[in-house]
Structure 1
């Protein structure tokens, strides 16, 4: 008997899970956008908009047996997914992987890829015209953005601001210290341990002034708010027993179930499973989901399947500062420029995801 699996969301979890199950189950991937948005490349795309031609990847080559339905899901239940246009996708198991939103222009605000390209072009023009640039928030996006701008536009005066006393305080101190020194050598000014006040917009780049905790005022030609992602969890909110955690993420049980429905799973950024909101989390969740879903298709009770074990504090973090430099935390060691460049910095995994989606 054929196993039917519906996946809501075509991001890093959804697209790769659909591909991995394509030959073994009847898979339907529901995704409202025409193109996969390869988010790490969107950071570099701010300084190099031509990169979008390779990093916005059509879905039409992803599946051979299954199908990609271009639509937005309206609701989920124990027997499938209902779309906004009223169509019904029946399924034995449902995976919700609707991802997260971030500030412009790192992720699209809507489903229109042409509008996203236009937004990228607008912000790139703002950046070209600016002399003084502030980045508020020194997580992965903010820190990478500082490195990309410093590499591609060394004439800009860049300030990276964080309320944390050091970069990446959840990682070993050497990791943040090395990144700090590399940024400073590239001409980036770091203001750490002071929250910036006065942001006119929390999601869009804009010109303006910022006030720091020490009472000082600073004016910038362009300010990038990079204050973290927020989960796109609306699709799960109405399910029985759902609990919402930080950043809008939905709490899940040890088998990645967000509710009392036994055959509905949540994964990736939308799921508060003990992993950070990074692509690295998918490298652990994907094989578990694939094995669990196929085992369910063979009649194995879920309780007999080993529960999911998150990365926790050992989760790797690859942080390029442009195509040549950067640092990486690899769980048991910190790597420098060479490994960071070879693993991620040179190509940002663009080839990998173009291959995944069947594009040359």
Structure 2
């Protein structure tokens, strides 16, 4: 059956709707691709490669993983463009780059993500420098006999499990000021993970802070002073104290409010400022979701539907408000490729489910497919 002119127009990309997305992480890259055939899309990203963060934890013990988990942007979009550049400022008319170029936009999505300690995320834009840092830390780990991990969230817990699995000869100590692992999730998850780490030979020191860290952002050797006054010396100390939003680009926008960990507050339509066409999503925004990749699974389809609705002329206030995950957001915590536990909203799953969903491949295959890499 032949399509009508109206049907053809609905299928064709709207070249009058110019969508600019700043940040090519989990929100930015997938959103750009999902809109590629429906609008004029520009993705602004300073790095040459997408950094698949969950794999970076395992890459500490297996640097060869970087060859698959650092994924180039060059095949992501077919119609739109990826600008390898850094945004300097944003206003209602578009985005201005550091070189002075102005990229006009109908709608702008800021998805600049978060930073974390190296080698879990790059400190800068140079991917080769990140590879070198990973190699340096891996060499330090191989040479170390005693290893401390400071922080009992998902990154610290996963790292302890990865090292215990790949290097069982290491003396590993996981230190957290919280009384249990993954403290923002039900206690049964942290209890199950703690039991498996202890079975793997990991010493847990919970409810005590590690003071006087030489660095909060990079692995180092040295003495740790615990909050009970005792001291411990380690060949290698990994700070894993949580991520901080990269919200500098948003700080000067009118009406912006910065909250915990540098995240910006947003209204029910993910707008961080008084500009009606500027949105924020992912780790940089605080709509009620945690700073996890899982949050993108709800934000992405909402953003896509909302932006397309705006392109069709529907007023934003007539479009559905964003509803965050809240406390039931799932989390998957592998302890190496074989073991782990997951909280899936209504129940906690064990080794088999965690291995099959995440632990086996860490979603690397999914993201290589998204970026059209074989």
Q: Which range, TM-score by smaller chain?
A: over 0.9
- Measure the CA separation in 1 of the matches of 2:185 and 2:116: 22
- Measure the CA separation in 2 of the matches of 1:195 and 1:153: 26
In the TM superposition, residue 213 of structure 1 has moved relative to its aligned partner by 1.7
Q: Summarize the alignment of residues 344-355 of structure 1 with structure 2, pairs less than 5 Å apart.
A: 344-355=358-369
> Counterpart of 2:5?
none
Structure label with greater radius of gyration: 2
TM-score normalised over the length of structure 1: 0.99
> Counterpart of 2:123?
109
In the alignment of these two chains, the number of paired residues is 360
> Counterpart of 1:85?
99
* Structure 1 segments unaligned to the other structure (5+ residues): none
> Counterpart of 1:340?
354
Q: Secondary structure at the match of 2:19?
A: strand
State whether residues 174 and 205 of structure 2, in contact with CA within 8 Å, keep that contact through their aligned partners in structure 1.
yes
In the TM superposition, residue 11 of structure 1 has moved relative to its aligned partner by 0.3
Q: Summarize the alignment of residues 245-284 of structure 1 with structure 2, pairs less than 5 Å apart.
A: 245-284=259-298
2:307 to 272, 281, 293: 293
For the pair 1:21 / 2:35, whether they are aligned, the reply is yes
In the TM superposition, residue 174 of structure 1 has moved relative to its aligned partner by 1.2
Q: Secondary structure at the match of 1:168?
A: coil
> Counterpart of 2:59?
45
User: Structure 1, residues 300-320: CA drift from partner, whole Å, max 9, x if none?
Assistant: 010011110111100000000
> Counterpart of 1:217?
231
- Measure the CA separation in 1 of the matches of 2:195 and 2:124: 37
In the TM superposition, residue 286 of structure 1 has moved relative to its aligned partner by 0.3
In the TM superposition, residue 147 of structure 1 has moved relative to its aligned partner by 0.3
Q: Secondary structure at the match of 2:210?
A: coil
> Counterpart of 1:170?
184
> Counterpart of 1:66?
80
- Measure the CA separation in 1 of the matches of 2:200 and 2:83: 45
In the TM superposition, residue 169 of structure 1 has moved relative to its aligned partner by 2.5
TM-score normalised over the length of structure 2: 0.96
For the pair 1:242 / 2:220, whether they are aligned, the reply is no
In the TM superposition, residue 168 of structure 1 has moved relative to its aligned partner by 2.0
> Counterpart of 1:182?
196
- Measure the CA separation in 1 of the matches of 2:302 and 2:240: 31
RMSD, aligned α-carbons: 0.6
- Measure the CA separation in 2 of the matches of 1:170 and 1:21: 34
User: Structure 1, residues 2-37: CA drift from partner, whole Å, max 9, x if none?
Assistant: 211000000000000001000111100000000000
* Structure 2 segments unaligned to the other structure (5+ residues): 1-13
The runs of 4+ residues in structure 1 deviating greater than 4 Å are none
Q: Secondary structure at the match of 1:155?
A: coil
- Measure the CA separation in 2 of the matches of 1:16 and 1:339: 25
